[in-house]
């Protein structure tokens, strides 16, 4: 399991939240996922990917046959409760370029799965 906050605390610690650094952050994760896949390990990655262009770049790096996009369909209030430290920094003006705060989030065009936190256990059970 690769999570944005965890990766930012190590592998991407020197990156900020500029659009270029966000793209670099996701590219790094995509390469890690690709390497893990090559070793037979399934990588579950939990990241904010705010636009279709970056999602397509990640898909190309990982491999179209290995990449499965799961969209968490949640409102901004859920996002704030889930990643409170990130959204608090954004609301304090310490970071910018956060979807739902000061930039838009582009909905995925063709996610394989759409989940809500209220039905996630049911959906995960049905993935097999």
Arithmetic mean of pLDDT over the chain: 91
Which is the catalytic residue, given 5, 9, 18, 49? Answer: 49
Q: What pTM, to 2 d.p., does this model score?
A: 0.83
pLDDT score recorded for residue 59 = 97
Contact, 44 vs 1, CB < 8 A? yes
Contact, 34 vs 2, CB < 8 A? no
CA distance 101 to 31: 28
Domain that holds residue 96: 2-125
CA distance 27 to 1: 16
CA distance 7 to 18: 16
For the question of residue 5 being annotated catalytic, the response is no
Residue-wise pLDDT tens digits, 78-93:
989 989 999 999 999 9
pLDDT score recorded for residue 119 = 64
pLDDT of 128 over the 90 cut: no
Number of domains comprising the chain: 1
CB atoms within 10 A of CB 59: 16
Give the CATH number, domain containing residue 10: 3.40.50.300
């Amino acid at each position: 399991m690769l999570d944005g906050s965890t990766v930012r605390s190590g592998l991407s610690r020197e990156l900020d939240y500029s659009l270029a650094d966000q793209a670099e952050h996701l590219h790094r994760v995509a390469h890690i996922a690709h390497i893990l896949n090559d070793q037979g390990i399934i990588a579950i990655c939990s990241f904010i990917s705010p636009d279709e262009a970056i999602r397509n770049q990640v898909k190309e790096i990982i491999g179209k046959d290995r990449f499965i996009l799961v969209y968490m369909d949640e409102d901004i209030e859920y996002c704030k409760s889930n990643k409170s430290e990130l959204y608090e920094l954004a609301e304090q003006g310490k970071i910018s370029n956060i979807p739902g705060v000061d930039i838009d989030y582009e909905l995925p065009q063709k996610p394989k799965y759409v989940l809500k936190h209220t039905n996630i256990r049911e959906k995960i059970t049905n993935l097999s």
